[in-house]
Structure 1
Amino acid sequence: MILEGRKHSDERGIITSNNDFDASIIKRIYTIENHSNEFIRGWQGHKIEQRWFACMKGSFEISVIEVDDFTNPSKDLTIQKYVLTDDVLTYLHIPSGCITAIQSKEQGSKMLILADYGLGEINDEYRYNLYYFK
C-alpha cells in the first residue's frame, strides 16, 4: 500500500511530509544505500514482520511478492513493482508475508526503512536467490 507524501515550498525552503503515516508501532529504523545501480538487493522478506520504505535521496524500484509458502514458494508468483523518489515523503507499506527486491535507480540513492519488530526480537528473515522467481 502506498501512503502518498506531500511537498510544500515557500520562500523559506521545502517541507516534505506524510501526516497519514502512523508510526506508533515502529520499533526499528535503518537505511539502505546500494553500492551500485546495477545491484539488486533481494529477494528477502518476512512472514510476520512489516516494513515501510521511504526514499530519502534519489530513487528506488521496489519489487514485491506475496509469498504463498515460505518453505517452498511457487516460482511464478506475481511481482508488483513500485518506484519511490525523494520528491515527496511517500511510504510503501510491505505487509507481513511479502518479500522484496530493491534496486537504486540513481547513484547515491538512500532508502529509509521502518520495522515493527526490534533487531533479534523474532527469527523471521527469509531469503531467496534473485533469479528464483520468474
Structure 2
Amino acid sequence: MDILPQLIKGNSHTDDRGTLQFNNDFNALGIKRMYTIQNRDTTFIRGWQGHKIEQRWFLAVQGSFKITLIAIDDWLAPSVNLLKSHFLLDSKTMDILNVPPGYVSSIQSVEVDSKLLLLSDYTLAEIEDEYRFNINYFTP
C-alpha cells in the first residue's frame, strides 16, 4: 500500500464567547460528495466496505466511533488475516481520518446517537468502485 491512512488532528479554542472547534490542517480540495452515517446502536458494526479508487474522509460530528481499516491485497479474493488499523474518532476533537484508496472499513458507534460525516472525492455514479465483504470475512 503506497499511501497510509492519516489522522488529521483538530483542535478547539474556548473563551468568554464560547468554544470554536477547527481543523486547520484539512484540505477540502477535491471533495465532491458528503453524507452521514448513524448506526442503529452501539453493538452494530457496519462493514466491510471499501474502495480501490475512491478516497474518503471520516469526521465524528456527534458522539464517537471506532473505525477499523484494512489495506486490501486482492479485491476479488482478499486474504482473511490482513493487518487491521484501529482509530477512534470523537466529535469533541474534530479529528479527521483520511482513508486513501485501497482500504475497506468497519464503523462502530461508541456512543448512542453518534453521527459520522463522510466525504468523498467522487460523486455517487461517477465510477463503479464499491466493494463489500461479509462482516465476518476478516475474522481469522
Same fold (TM over 0.5): yes
- What range is the shorter-chain TM-score in? over 0.9
Is structure 2 residue 8 aligned with structure 1 residue 3? yes
Q: What is the number of equivalent residue pairs in this alignment?
A: 134
Partner of 1:106: 111
- How far apart, in 2, do the equivalents of 1:17 and 1:121 lie? 30
Q: Distance in 2 between matches of 1:11 and 1:99?
A: 43
* Counterpart among 34, 37, 61 of residue 32 in structure 1: 37
Aligned residue for 2:34, secondary structure, equals strand
For the pair 1:55 / 2:60, whether they are aligned, the reply is yes
Residue-by-residue CA offset, 1:53-77 (whole Å, 9 max, x unaligned): 0100100000000000000000010
Pairs within 5 Å for 1:9-24: 9-24=14-29
Gaps of 5+ in 2: 1-5
d(CA) in 1 for partners of 2:94 and 2:17?
A: 19
Write the deviation string for residues 72-100 of structure 1: whole angstroms up to 9, x where unpaired.
00001001110000112110011100000
- Structure 1 stretches of 4+ with a deviation exceeding 6 A read none
Once the two structures are TM-superposed, the CA of residue 11 in structure 1 deviates from its matched residue by 1.1
Structure 1 residue 49: Cα displacement: 0.1
Aligned Cα root-mean-square deviation (Å): 0.5
SS in 2 for 1:71: coil
